[in-house]
Chains A and B, each alone.
Chain A
Amino acid sequence: MSTDKTADKTADNTAGTTAGRTGDRTGGEPAWLLVTRREIVSRITDKSFVLGTAFMVVLIAGFIGFSIWQDEKTTDVTLGATPDSVAMATAIKDGAPDVDDKVEVTVTELADRDAAEAALRDDEVDAWLHPTDDGWQLTTESSEQDALTTVTRAVVQQTVLADNAAQVGTTVEALQAGSTVTTEFLRGDAERANVAEAVGFVFVFLFYFAALVFGMQLASSVIEEKQSRIVEIIAAAIPLRHLLAGKVLGNTALAVIQLLVYLAVGLVGLSFTSYSSYVPALSGPAAWFVAFFLAGFVALACLWAVAGSLASRTEDLQSTSTPLTMLMLVMFFGGLSLDGRAQVIASYVPPVSAVVMPKRILAGGVEWWEPLLALGLLAVFAGLTVMVGERLYRRALLQTGGRVSLKQAWATAE
């Protein structure tokens, strides 16, 4: 591999020529690293990427902020009472905090029915409480006061029940003895199950969103290079394997970094809400999710690159990427809807396992070896798609003139 004859002219690239391995290294750096760096730098200096990420962060933070506000706000209601209902209304006012601590009741005394109706129309009171032949009635102007109705029902029931019990010489407690039904979960508890369900949805959605956005981006950057033929200049300089590796690594790094930002914002935000006690418990599953995301994204990224290389113009991407977008949808809905035995099976089947296993980990009750096995299988699958993808990508990339079919790309000579 002597280049001595022209050594004077290649003074600048002797670093490359003396590196020993044929052309895989460039000025002191491996070619794939140069490509990775370009992918990352050109992306994070791209306004739309930065703005998109910032927008998502604001959206997540905003959503959490809204839930906190929802959580903490109290409903103030004014309850109108005519002389025949003042006693009960006061009981409701006093009993409200025990039923729902977010509801605060103020009682306004009104002269009679007409005054009550007038007060309702003028919005001076939110509801008017009055007795009927067989109970009590809440009159509102046009819409129901849900919170107030719940409170009123509970207090009225309690008060009337106590009165009735007293009349027959017993107590409510005595009447209710032995009638309580309590629930118990063998695994976790109800609230935890709800949190797991919600976070599981977030995981599935984040995976779908990131895999689609970054996958599309990767595919179109492959087309950009193919369409502009800069790929020929690159192909003459470095092995195409390095180009593919650099692109996949660059986009994976970007996707993971973005995901970590979203997760961090989400978990930190969550610690400010009433669910803050779940943050430590969620961190473990979140770490697993990142690991599964990494393997799953690498597996898909190579396929996205193939989709890009099969097209020869941006317009072709729609059709060459259809199988992949279908796969994404299957993963999305599979991740959301599978349960029971199907979920257990799917949690081992790549690439669906990338979203299903983290969900199972969230729900709890997963043996320690299960995520490891699923991750191992996913990694093997990723290795396979990298190998197959590399072959297809290399062969399709330098074919010009129209779309290349998978079969052509596989069979064609280089």
Chain B
Amino acid sequence: MLEIRELTRRFGENTAVDHVSFEVPSGLMTGFVGGNGAGKTTTMRMVMGVLGIDEGEVLWQGRPITRLDRRSFGYMPEERGLYPKQPILDQLVYIAQLKGMEGGAARTAVTELLERFGLGERTKDHLEKLSLGNQQRVQIIASVLPQPQALILDEPFSGLDPAAVDSMVDLLREYTRDDVPVLFSSHQLDLVERLCDRLVVLSQGRRVAAGSVTELRDAGVPRFRLVLGGDAGWVRDLRGLEVLDLDGTTALVEVREAGAEQQLITEATGRGDVHEFVRVRPALSEIYREATA
């Protein structure tokens, strides 16, 4: 497990990351969301040791992280790029070697990954000769070399077409199955919702929400939707509830006093048919908007 504790980084007067704490549990995908300038990239760079830490610490398996631990992490920087004018096989082998692999093993591992991503025929091509999507694939390979103990990916899905997103997701799932913790940032909330086991929301350098997706969606004031056989106008008269929306036979209410929803359903069944009574959980995008507002 990777633990981030009270991480803080200032640039002059500006506090880019302000006492942020969260965990990236092993075998789970943790999504890292927040607007531009929220501090996601700065946090990730501190975790990777690329940027100095002003306050706080990063723990790996319960002890302060070392350079050697970090070297075994897979990292994809935000604005990515490798050497444009070098053959892709050569530069991937070079990176694998820098991360501690032996030359022959590196070559085998890189060739295998290139083939898997459909680039087996292009090992000698210069990076700049590849399409943007393929360049992105090479970048992904660079970040998962060698077998990573953890993955820190800054916007790994940006610029990928749906097929590439799927193969990337499959790959990431393989690592989480092997108990590797994965932290990735993204602007695409639907993707985050679909992929993530856990979520950390940053806003202006502060952590504003963290937890599993279900936890977050359950965390707010409970809301219920009621669909009746007849007019639902009477709902307005009940105490302890706030009506958010009322449209003929349908009402959307928020519970202000505990138990008020029980009263609501008793009343409703007394008055006639109840077609639907259901808890409404806000979409992730809604939570995100509220959290970062």
A34 interface residue (CB < 8 Å to B): yes
- Asked if residues B50 and A17 are in contact (CB atoms below 8 Å), the reply is no
Q: Is the CB of B51 within 8 A of A398?
A: yes
- Bound form: Cα–Cα A289–B226 in Å: 91
Chain A, 22-49, CB within 8 A of any chain B CB: 22-23, 25-29, 31, 34-35, 38, 42, 46
Which chain B residues lie closer than 8 Å to A6 at the CB level?
A: 72, 149
When chains A and B are docked, how far (Å) is the Cα of A155 from the Cα of B61? 100
A34-B50 in contact (CB<8A): no
Shortest B82–chain A CB gap in Å is 5
Q: Mark A1-28, 1 if CB is under 8 A from B, else 0.
A: 1010110011111011100001101111
Q: Nearest Cβ in chain A — how far from B125, in angstroms?
A: 14
Q: Is A413 an interface residue (CB 8 A)?
A: yes
Are B71 and A16 interface neighbours, CB within 8 A? yes
Contact (Cβ within 8 A) B69 A13: no
Flag whether B283 is at the interface (Cβ < 8 A): no
Does chain B have a CB within 8 A of A287?
A: no
List residues 93-132 of chain B with CB under 8 A from any CB of chain A.
94-95, 97-103, 105-106, 109
One of A203-211, A228-236, A335-343 at the interface: A228-236
Contact B75 A13 (CB under 8 A): no
A225 to B83, CA, bound (A): 7
Residues B94 and A13 in contact, CB atoms below 8 Å apart:
no
**Chain A residue, CB-CB nearest to B148:** A9
From A11, A227, A237, B98 is in contact (CB under 8 Å) with: A237
Complex: A42 Cα to B93 Cα, angstroms: 13
Residues of chain A within 8 A of B72, CB atoms compared: 3, 6, 10, 13, 17
Instruction: Given A34-B94, A34-B97, check contact A235 B49 (CB 8 Å).
Output: yes
Kindly report which residue of chain B lies nearest to residue A4, judged by CB atoms. Answer: B61
Given A12-B147, A27-B105, A38-B94, are A232 and B83 neighbors across the interface (CB < 8 Å)? no
B146 touches A31 (CB 8 A): no
Q: Is the CB of A22 within 8 A of B81?
A: no
Given known A236-B50, A413-B54, contact A15–B100 (CB-CB < 8 A): yes
Minimum distance in angstroms from A204 CB to a CB of chain B: 33
Contact B146 A5 (CB under 8 A): no
CA distance A235 to B81 in the complex (A): 14
- Residue among A23, A227, A234 with max Cβ neighbours from chain B (10 Å): A23
| Chain A minimum-CB-distance residue to B49 | A236
| Closest chain B residue to A10, Cβ basis | B72
State the CA gap A12–B78 with chains docked (Å). Answer: 27
A12 and B109: CB pair below 8 A? yes
Given A5-B61, A232-B45, A232-B77, A34 and B178 contact (CB-CB distance below 8 Å) = no
Complex Cα–Cα for A318 and B255 (A): 65
CB pair B98 A234 closer than 8 Å: yes
- Chain A residues within 8 Å of chain B by Cβ, number: 42
Tell me the chain B residues, 47-89 only, with Cβ under 8 Å from chain A: 48-52, 54, 61, 66-73, 75, 77-86
Residues of A within 8 A of B67 (CB): 22-23, 239
Instruction: State the Cβ distance, A238 to closest chain B Cβ, in Å.
Output: 5
User: A197 near B: Cβ within 8 Å?
Assistant: no
Residues of chain B with a CB closer than 8 A to A13's CB? 71-72, 99-101, 146
Q: Determine whether B185 belongs to the interface, using a CB cutoff of 8 Å to chain A.
A: no
Give Cα distance in the complex from A10 to B61, angstroms. Answer: 15
Query: Is the C-beta of A109 less than 8 angstroms from some C-beta in chain B?
Result: no
Q: Report which of A1, A10, A29, A413 forms a contact with B97, defined as CB distance below 8 A.
A: A29
Is B142 in contact with chain A by the CB < 8 A criterion?
A: yes
Closest Cβ of chain B to A227, distance in Å, is: 7
CB distance A27 to B86 under 8 Å?
no
Give the chain B neighbours of A233 by CB distance below 8 A.
Answer: 75, 77, 95, 142-143
By the criterion CB–CB under 8 Å, are B106 and A27 in contact? Answer: yes
Q: Are A27 and B75 in contact (CB under 8 A)?
A: no
Partner of A3, one of B69, B84, B97: B69
Q: Which residues of B contact A42 (CB under 8 A)?
A: 83, 85-86
Query: Do A229 and B77 touch (CB < 8 A)?
Result: yes
Say whether A224 faces chain B, with CB atoms less than 8 Å apart. yes
Residue-wise interface mask of A (208-250) relative to B, using a CB-CB cutoff of 8 A (1 in contact, 0 not) = 0000000000000000110111101111111100000000000
Chain B residue with Cβ nearest A224: B83
Chain A residues closer than 8 Å to B80, beta-carbon distance? 228-229
Residue A414 at the B interface, CB < 8 A?
yes
6 closest residue pairs by CB, A with B: A16-B100, A228-B81, A13-B100, A27-B102, A232-B77, A414-B52
Question: Mind listing 29 A-B residue pairs with CB under 8 Å?
Answer: A1-B66, A1-B68, A3-B68, A3-B149, A9-B180, A13-B71, A13-B100, A13-B101, A22-B66, A22-B68, A23-B66, A26-B97, A26-B98, A26-B101, A34-B94, A42-B85, A46-B85, A229-B78, A229-B79, A229-B80, A230-B83, A232-B48, A232-B50, A233-B77, A235-B49, A235-B50, A236-B73, A236-B75, A238-B98
